[in-house]
Chains A and B, each alone.
Chain A
Amino acid sequence: MKTRWLHRLSCAVAILLSFAPLAPARAALTIEIIGTGATQLPIAVVPFRAEERIAQPVTPVIAADLARSGLFRMIDSGGLSPLPHEPQDLNFSVWRARGADAVVIGSISQLPDGRYDVRFRLMDVARQVQLTGFAYAASADQLRLTAHRIADVIYEALTGAKGVFSTRIAYIVKKGKRFELQVADADGYGAQTVRWSDEPILSPSWSPDGTRLAYVSLERKKPVVYVQSLTTGQYQAVANYWGSNSAPAWSPDGRRLAVVLSKDGGSQIYFIGTDGKGEPRRMTFSSAIDTEPNFSPDGELLLFTSDRGGSPQIYGMPVAGGEARRLTFEGTYNVTPRFNPDGKSFTYIQRNGGRFNVAVQDMTTRQVQVLTDGVIDESPSFAPNGRTILYATEVRGRGVLSAVSSDGRVKQRLTEEAGDVREPAWGPFPK
């Protein structure tokens, strides 16, 4: 178990380190939390032993991650001397008195090779037992990721769902006339510009293994689909046909992209290889607009937006071939479908009067829940654990990113000082 985590950690770190040659963006996204979960689990995160001696404290990051989810209430550990770091130090009655159901303790020490040994234990106050605990070996620049990893383990142990604190997000920032495709940690920290242009960039889409991004750039005076490696920074045009090329979406096996091409007239959905080689295979044959394809997690169904019925609505079509079936019926404008990673529902944008809001529809019952109440909400995408939806909205005329829990109760807002942020896409779990 431990080795698996360490392996995954080192893989994720390798991905992060690969950004090193790219200039880090100065401004990180700042997060503001609005609303809380239906029930909040009271938890204390005690500062780790020797943590004050290192440049990157770990427990504040863990606590901020847990608090941001809206599912935890942080219990203060102030006024205790000495602070507990090992199970035998814990006086459970103290924590019971403070109202904590769980306590996180741990330590950091430097290893002979210069790295840090970071270890933590999650303790159940009522039962007075350890729920989980791990040790990590991390270099100084891996400490923040290690903190996210620990928050993921705690989140999973206490909620049953995998944590997404160590995942990343991609989005576009418009600064004056400059468009930047950025990738940041899920908490908005460590933003890196992976591509910039004086022409618009839009529709970033993560490869299922999180190592590549597909996106649309207008730098050739028309929409062209690119795929860029996040490990090497290299990019190539993969759909640059006569007319417009847009709306890339990865198949779950990572082998192909669904894209929208106008090469044969109109906007229709095609499959292409991720290297852009070979003939595009046409998937829709309508005289209407068919766009915004999105694969189901099992790769068998393709959702897309079409106005074949007179207004833009969401349709589902078997990838193996067969009739497209209309899925949305409420209202006259339903666009941008994105599957829940569990495959049981999808999120999309529904127009209500003059407002555009994030909604979720159940695949089986077709029940619809509208989750947001902004004026212009756009580009929703699920977190890989299906618990949160990231989307773009506008506050005082400026684009900002927001996230809403899939039950609509917890909202977070991520703002960037320097510009307009839009087109967010939540990346997958690190492989």
Chain B
Amino acid sequence: MGSLPQVIIYARNHAMKRLLTGTIILVLLTLGGCATAPSEQAGAAVEDRGKPAGPPAAAVKPAPDTGAKPLVDKPLGAAALKDPGNILSRRSVYFDFDSNLVKDEFRPLVTAHARYLQQNPGAKIRIEGNGDERGSREYNIALGQRRSEAVKQMMQLLGARASQIESVSFGEEKPRATGHDEASWAENRRADIVYLGE
């Protein structure tokens, strides 16, 4: 089975859920594009440092259609996860300031992991959301959660099962970069993919 019908089914389920919770527009975009980033709810002011409250302007960005290719490759084994030459060895998705949008450059990475999960139903991952150090620790846990869920939703749209993916957040508690500058903050606005049992 190719991935396209499956993507649409997932998207429909997703849309119904969203309709119920009252957020509609962004999901319709998802349905239309199939491979559009799984957008978060309106008003997702991630990080929110200095910007006034406003519409979720950057929440959805049109993207090239990378996610709807039929899955015809032979299944990948666990060895691929650690093969430095394989995209599956890349595990970090970085986010812009004030954003939980999965950027185009990380689509192939997320797509590859989603495909791996689809082909290996026994595989399970934890997506660990992180944020920079500024602001409330608990609010930053919630912001990191939003990032890890954005990656999870995208993987689900691409065929991974919800039960294979636990989205969690470390907030600002486990910074990879410990500096107090933009370079460190950018490094810490991140979601990491961890395979259980690795």
A interface vs B, CB < 8 Å? Answer: 199-200, 202-203, 218, 221-223, 242-244, 246-247, 260, 262, 265-267, 285, 287-289, 291-292, 305, 307-312, 332-333, 335-336, 349, 351, 354, 356, 376, 378-379, 397, 423
**Residues of chain A within 8 A of B137, CB atoms compared:** 202-203, 378-379, 423
B interface vs A, CB < 8 Å? Answer: 17-18, 21-23, 41-45, 48-55, 126, 128, 134-139, 141-143, 145-146, 149, 166-171, 173-174, 180, 194
Q: What are the nearest 8 A-B pairs in CB distance?
A: A310-B53, A287-B41, A200-B173, A267-B142, A222-B168, A335-B136, A311-B53, A289-B142
**Residues of chain B within 8 A of A307, CB atoms compared:** 43-45, 48
**Are B135 and A243 in touch, CB under 8 angstroms?**
no
Nearest CB in chain B: distance from A340 CB, A: 19
CA distance A305 to B149 in the complex (A): 20
**Are A332 and B142 in touch, CB under 8 angstroms?**
no
**Are B43 and A310 in touch, CB under 8 angstroms?**
yes
**Residues of chain A within 8 A of B138, CB atoms compared:** 202-203, 246-247, 260, 291-292, 305, 336
Nearest CB in chain A: distance from B54 CB, A: 6
**Are B146 and A266 in touch, CB under 8 angstroms?**
yes
CA distance A354 to B185 in the complex (A): 15
**Are B139 and A291 in touch, CB under 8 angstroms?**
yes
Nearest CB in chain B: distance from A188 CB, A: 22
Additional A-B contact list (10), CB under 8 Å, known A200-B174, A292-B138: A200-B173, A243-B166, A244-B145, A244-B169, A260-B141, A262-B168, A266-B146, A291-B139, A332-B51, A336-B139
**Are B136 and A292 in touch, CB under 8 angstroms?**
yes
CA distance A305 to B167 in the complex (A): 21
CA distance A203 to B149 in the complex (A): 23
CA distance A397 to B181 in the complex (A): 13
**Residues of chain B within 8 A of A202, CB atoms compared:** 137-138, 173
Q: A312 and B45 in contact (CB under 8 A), knowing A221-B126, A222-B166, A287-B22? A: yes
CA distance A319 to B176 in the complex (A): 39
Q: A244 and B141 in contact (CB under 8 A), knowing A221-B168, A332-B48, A332-B50? A: yes
Q: A288 and B41 in contact (CB under 8 A), knowing A222-B168, A244-B168? A: yes
**Are B54 and A310 in touch, CB under 8 angstroms?**
yes
CA distance A355 to B85 in the complex (A): 44
List 27 interface pairs A-B (beta carbons < 8 Å), by A numbering. Answer: A200-B174, A218-B170, A222-B126, A223-B168, A223-B169, A243-B168, A246-B141, A247-B138, A260-B138, A267-B142, A287-B23, A288-B41, A289-B139, A289-B146, A291-B138, A291-B139, A291-B142, A310-B54, A332-B52, A333-B49, A336-B139, A351-B49, A351-B135, A354-B50, A378-B136, A379-B137, A397-B180
CA distance A308 to B22 in the complex (A): 12
**Residues of chain B within 8 A of A351, CB atoms compared:** 49, 135
Nearest CB in chain B: distance from A332 CB, A: 5
Q: A309 and B139 in contact (CB under 8 A), knowing A221-B168, A266-B41? A: no
Nearest CB in chain B: distance from A41 CB, A: 37
Residue of A nearest to B149 (CB): A265
CA distance A200 to B51 in the complex (A): 29
**Are B136 and A336 in touch, CB under 8 angstroms?**
yes
**Residues of chain A within 8 A of B18, CB atoms compared:** 287
Nearest CB in chain A: distance from B89 CB, A: 20
Contact of A243 among B23, B145, B170, B194 (CB under 8 A): B145
**Are B169 and A333 in touch, CB under 8 angstroms?**
no
**Residues of chain B within 8 A of A423, CB atoms compared:** 137
**Are B149 and A266 in touch, CB under 8 angstroms?**
yes
**Residues of chain A within 8 A of B126, CB atoms compared:** 221-222
**Are A260 and B43 in touch, CB under 8 angstroms?**
no
**Residues of chain A within 8 A of B52, CB atoms compared:** 311, 332
Q: A310 and B174 in contact (CB under 8 A), knowing A287-B21, A349-B136? A: no
**Residues of chain B within 8 A of A336, CB atoms compared:** 136, 138-139
